[in-house]
Chain A
Amino acid sequence: MTVMQAPAYRRAEYHGFEAGGGHFIYLVSAGAIFEIDADVRTVLTRLDGQELTHAALVRELASDGRDTAEAEALVRELRVARLIQLGAAAPVMPQAPPADFPLQALVLNVTNQCNLACTYCYEFGADKIATPAGKPKYMTLDTARASVDLLIAEAVGRKAVHITFFGGETLMNFKLLRDVVDYANAATAAAGKAITYSLTTNATLLTPEIVTFLSDNRIGVTVSMDGPPEMQDKHRVYKNGKGSYAVIEPRLRTLIAHHKTRAITARVTLTEGVTDVVRIFRHLKDDLGFHEVGFAPVTTGEERAYSLDDNGMDSVLAQFSLLADEWLEYALRGESHGFTNVSETISELISGVNKSHPCGAGLGLMGVSPSGDLSPCHRFTDADTHTMGHVSSGIDRAKQGEFLKKGHVEAKYDCQSCWARPLCAGGCHHEAFVRYGDTGHANLHYCDWIRQWTDTCLRIYGVLAVQNPGFLERFAERKGLS
């Protein structure tokens, strides 16, 4: 038989924080951020650790001297906004995205060859999952054209598409890159779509001609590098062990001086011994002149010599906080700072993202190997265990559906009680596979780190919302254009 119980209010899932003299909550079910007043804090405190029926809650609020009608209105506002809820929240179930979700971007691995031999490389290092033996090393123009055609055909309803050129070392196949841009410009124009490009490189092969081409075609450039000479040369070495800093420095200066159409970004991999975040940032931003600098800990099993241990991560987070404070100082003055890790999180907080999947891999974005095999993203390129169709035959919807179902945040048990899941959604599929052997596993090794970082960025957001909200509005517009 059905047992009827008086339903009681309980607090919805949220993360509270203080910033700039104000009180805020980050509402987990929505990704919404509210500044709250003392009345709301009173309600949330009353419901801390206990449930109250509507009548009991109103009675308690009235006992503080409030008018009953005011108390009713307060409860109503919080209930409609879902900060408090009557009874338990409905259980969450993984929902598959629409089977015909349109593609937005392709990452073309124009070559899987590289002229460097970075010791931590996820593509060729000890943790590689790629199986490139017997497969083409360079993408042909036919394969690249078929990729562009697939992108246009599968981008149903999208006004703009994006191609990222990737490697190996991307510029080892620059000739193809130039031809693909010509082809894709014409093909997308004929299809009535806009197209943008980006490229990742180690910068060893940049020439003035290539820089001019990249600038003329508004191709965003990300340079993988690790900092000043002694850090860059620790892992980012040629096959004979020689460091690459001396080769790339003059090339980088040319790139930054002459590529004026898009921001030039450095992407730093943090490893054991390369954790001096502030010094790396200063060198890349101030000495070399990169517009943006982003950092990511190396993806690897924890037994590798270059992996970061807990102490390393603590040091990284402490330095991230220093740079985050600096980012805020700049923002309060209305200036751009260039620490990408904050910029990216702030832009996600502005829109209030609430992710079903950690990124677009296998959803709106796919990787293409030199042979034309499709994979969830560039990190799975040439891994036979993760092919998802071929550019000539199309997307394998069954495999795509299986991958996305696994990677859905609601399928990750460990994430269900975490307030940071709207932004994290369990973390990188590839890292999960390397660490746990399963793309659907939550990346438990960086949960604390993610929560601390999200909290740091929320506080920055709160201070700006109080002291310089105009900056957030301008920032949102700028991100919308990029």
Chain B
Amino acid sequence: MKHLRAINKKARAIGEAVAQVEAASAGTPTDMDEDVVALQQQPRPHVPMGCTLSFSPGWEVDAGGGTAGLCQPVERDIYDCYVTCFWPVQVPDHVNYSPDWASNCATATKDWRSLDLVFP
């Protein structure tokens, strides 16, 4: 940390976390460099057509703010499809074939990167 000096144990723990993020950002993109950015930021984020920008319910609008790009459920909000079974056919089958594909993802809004990829 350049601007903050940690002076108790809890602050030092935060400092270590900051250092890790900074180290990671030196090589590969981090959440703040690439895929999670403010929409008004430049350069603008890449948002695939059809992806809504919220996790749940996730069905109202597409990236353009309209509804033209809807109805491609897996690409739009895969976790909501899986948990609530809106579209059971298009997501990995958690009953028979891929029961563990989301086992590393306890809180979808925080660790959705941990979802396994499942190929048919």
Contacts and interface: CB of A to CB of B under 8 A. Distances in A.
Contact of B38 (A53, A78, A349): A53
A30 interface: yes
Nearest to A5: B39
Interface in A43-98: 53-55, 73-74, 76-83, 86
Interface string B1-35: 11111111111011101100110010000001000
B42 interface: yes
A24 B1 contact: no
A37 B3 contact: yes
A461 B4 contact: no
B18 A77 contact: yes
Contacts of B3: 36-37, 39-40, 74, 77-78
Contact of B4 (A6, A40, A76, A354): A40
A33 B14 CA distance: 10
A80 B30 CA distance: 12
Interface in A145-185: none
A455 interface: no
A35 B5 contact: yes
B54 A2 contact: yes
A6 B39 contact: yes
Nearest to B40: A6
A223 interface: no
B18 A81 contact: yes
Contacts of B8: 31-33, 349-352, 461
A73 B2 CA distance: 9
B99 interface: no
B120 interface: no
Contacts of A99: none
B59 to A, nearest CB: 9
A31 B40 contact: no
B80 to A, nearest CB: 13
B108 interface: no
B115 interface: no
A55 B40 CA distance: 8
- Name the residue among B3, B15, B42 with the largest chain A CB count within 10 angstroms: B3
A346 B109 CA distance: 37
A37 B1 CA distance: 11
Contacts of B11: 27, 30, 32-34, 352
A351 B9 contact: yes
Contacts of A76: 25, 32
Contacts of A24: 7
Nearest to B20: A80
Interface in B60-81: 60-61, 65
B10 A352 contact: yes
B105 interface: no
A6 B38 contact: yes
Contacts of B5: 34-36
A4 B39 contact: yes
A418 interface: no
A465 interface: yes
Contacts of B39: 4, 6
Given A34-B11, A76-B32, A86-B38, A4 B65 contact: yes
A1 interface: yes
A417 B46 CA distance: 38
A86 B40 CA distance: 13
Contacts of A125: none
A463 B41 CA distance: 40
A7 interface: yes
A77 B2 contact: yes
A74 B3 CA distance: 7
Nearest to B37: A54
A461 B52 CA distance: 48
B75 to A, nearest CB: 17
A410 to B, nearest CB: 18
A4 B42 CA distance: 17
B10 to A, nearest CB: 3
Given A32-B14, A351-B9, 9 more contacts: A2-B54, A4-B39, A32-B6, A36-B4, A54-B40, A54-B41, A79-B32, A80-B22, A351-B8
Interface of B: 1-11, 13-15, 17-18, 21-22, 25, 32, 38-42, 52-54, 57, 60-61, 65
Interface of A: 1-2, 4, 6-7, 24, 27, 30-37, 39-40, 53-55, 73-74, 76-83, 86, 349-352, 354, 461-462, 465, 469, 476
16 contacts: A4-B39, A4-B65, A27-B11, A31-B10, A34-B6, A35-B4, A37-B3, A39-B3, A40-B4, A54-B38, A54-B40, A74-B3, A77-B22, A81-B15, A81-B18, A82-B14
